[in-house]
Amino acid sequence: MFNTVEKTKPFLKWPGNKYRIIDEIVELLPDGDRLVEPFAGSGSIFLNTSYPEKLVADNDEDLIRLFKHVQMYGEEFIEYASEVFVPENNVDERYYELRKEFNTTHDTIRKSALLIYLNRHCFNGLYRKNKKGEFNAAYGKYKKPYFPRKELKEFHIRSEDVVFKNQDFLETLDMVEDGDVVYCDPPYTPLKENAAHVYGSLQFGDNEHIALVNKAKKVSGKGIPVLISNHDIPLTRELYNSAHIETFEVSRTISSKASSRGKVSELLAIY
């Protein structure tokens, strides 16, 4: 019921981007009055659903600000952002100058435009920050980075009915109401032990995953469906042992080693 007529790609490259399995995920999303996403990511899910209302949040201020700028200013902002995509900016020295500018500027429009530039010019399109919240992905050495004009225009159109909020996932889950459907795409549990992923500038480890599950159980206990994506590994099977599990094979395209970019198994825990 909530599929869109034509699929829309997100304009940002993103680790764990759900676009490749969007049909499978959307098919499992229940009907509802509002879609709630506590982890915005690249926006693949909300872009490809047609719930009457949508609440999309993330604790990364730069990401949410960028989404709001595309939503509010549309073509004007898109044209401005495209001006950074010139050959003279596609060299390592210039990349690191612009990365430094992104991390220090107080001009929010400029910062949003630079975020698109960094995402498309950095190594493997990684959206990565250090604990200080500074973007620190290395230069990618691409011959001609793609400026996602078409995708930005579609985002502008399809974000008209979206409320974007910069806040923690628990704050977002506290806002759910009857009629909502919640989809969570948190930083995944690492495939290797003793590692934690970064959520904005914060570590997202075992404690955060447990907190998410506990909150999901409380929310679903009120009759509000909650779906959570993650790697399909023994640890997550144990973590989501009270949920219904669906699994998918997904092509991994973002990795530091080409040999690591193969098929991985992911799951969708449904509460």
Percent of the chain with pLDDT over 90: 78
Number of domain units in the chain: 2
Out of 109, 124, 150, pick the residue that ends a domain. Answer: 150
Do 46 and 164 sit in the same domain of this protein? yes
Give the pair of three-digit tokens for residue 214. 């506990």
- The SS3 call for residue 71 is helix
Helix axes 108-121, 92-104, angle to 10 degrees: 140
The pLDDT assigned to 39 comes to: 97
Do 144 and 78 sit in the same domain of this protein? yes
Do 193 and 264 sit in the same domain of this protein? yes
Sign of CA dihedral 206, 254, 124, 81: negative
Out of 121, 150, 179, pick the residue that ends a domain. Answer: 150
Beta-sheet pairing, 263-270 with 244-251: antiparallel
Does residue 226 carry a pLDDT above 80?
yes
Do 198 and 265 sit in the same domain of this protein? yes
The pLDDT assigned to 134 comes to: 95
Q: Is 10 contained in some domain?
A: no
Do 144 and 263 sit in the same domain of this protein? no
Amino acid letter at 95?
Answer: Y
How does residue 256 score in pLDDT terms, banded at 50, 70 and 90?
Answer: very low
Does residue 199 carry a pLDDT above 60?
no
Do 68 and 184 sit in the same domain of this protein? no
Interval 108-124 mean pLDDT? 97
Do 86 and 133 sit in the same domain of this protein? yes
Reading across the β-sheet that carries 226-231, which strands appear in turn?
162-166, 53-58, 34-37, 180-184, 226-231, 263-270, 244-251
Sign of CA dihedral 150, 230, 117, 138: negative
Do 55 and 69 sit in the same domain of this protein? no
Contact 141, 113 (CB under 8 A): no
The pLDDT assigned to 104 comes to: 98
pTM for the model stands at 0.91
Do 82 and 134 sit in the same domain of this protein? yes
CATH number for position 170:
3.40.50.150
Distance CA 86, CA 67 (A): 23
CATH number for position 117:
1.10.1020.10
Q: Is 5 contained in some domain?
A: no
Do 69 and 195 sit in the same domain of this protein? no
Does residue 180 carry a pLDDT above 70?
yes
Q: Is 90 contained in some domain?
A: yes
Out of 96, 129, 150, pick the residue that ends a domain. Answer: 150
Interval 83-93 mean pLDDT? 98
Sign of CA dihedral 248, 249, 251, 252: positive
Q: Is 168 contained in some domain?
A: yes
Q: Where in the sequence is the domain holding 86, given as residue range(s)?
A: 64-150
How does residue 253 score in pLDDT terms, banded at 50, 70 and 90?
Answer: low
Do 52 and 72 sit in the same domain of this protein? no
The pLDDT assigned to 6 comes to: 78
Does residue 21 carry a pLDDT above 70?
yes
Do 56 and 70 sit in the same domain of this protein? no
